[in-house]
Amino acid sequence: MKAWEKWTFNLLALVVSASGLAYLWMKYGMASGDPFALVNHPWQPWMLAIHVLASPWFLVMFGVLVNSHISQKLAAESGQDRRSGYLSLLAFVTMTFSGYALQVATNPRTTRAMLVLHLVSSGLFVLAYGAHFVIGLRTAVARPPAESPEPHAAAPCSHLDSHAQPPS
């Protein structure tokens, strides 16, 4: 997995999680003093917009990670982070399905069920992926440089060697 993939996925995970949590708090955890108010906080529509607009990009990055990370880890016979990875994967799929179903549900019971499923799976994803992220960091720090999947320094080139003779 490339560094830009990690950074982009983690940044989008943070944006989607933070905007979703902020929207949840503003919609269900606050009360407006105005009985005619449509929102409980002036930023509530912005949090929803950020959440809904960032989520498809998060889904795209998930697809990139399926190719560069997830499929390789699933094919490997052994590996670390298995439980947190599987749990993150299951929660992500459930969270995505329920999030999109929540946008198109018209029946109040279906909407409520999708909301509960989305909240539970999102919470589970945040916890599981958080654990997966921390385990991955600990593994990367503990791994000797020779075993690192992405070397930090490029191999020296012979034409840059100070002892190399110019062609005659």
Q: Scan for tokens 């060697």, then name that residue.
A: 161
Which among 66, 54, 60 is positioned nearest to 20, based on CA atoms? 54
pLDDT at 168: 52
Terminal alpha carbon distance of the chain:
43
Find the mean pLDDT for residues 33-57.
Answer: 94
Q: For 131-143, how does the pLDDT look when each residue is reduced to its tens digit (9 = 90+)?
A: 999 988 888 787 7
- pTM of the entire predicted model: 0.78
pLDDT class for 155, splitting at 50, 70, 90?
very low
pLDDT at 15: 98
Whole-angstrom distance, CA of residue 113 vs CA of residue 107:
10
Whole-Å CA distances, 87 to 35, 72, 81: 42, 17, 10
Q: For 67-107, how does the pLDDT look when each residue is reduced to its tens digit (9 = 90+)?
A: 888 888 878 776 666 888 899 999 999 999 999 999 999 99
Half-sphere exposure of 156 (CA within 13 A, CB side): 7
Instruction: Please determine, for residue 159, whether its predicted confidence score (pLDDT) is greater than 50.
Output: no
Whole-Å CA distances, 84 to 1, 12, 40, 67, 79: 17, 19, 36, 18, 12
Find the mean pLDDT for residues 130-159.
Answer: 67
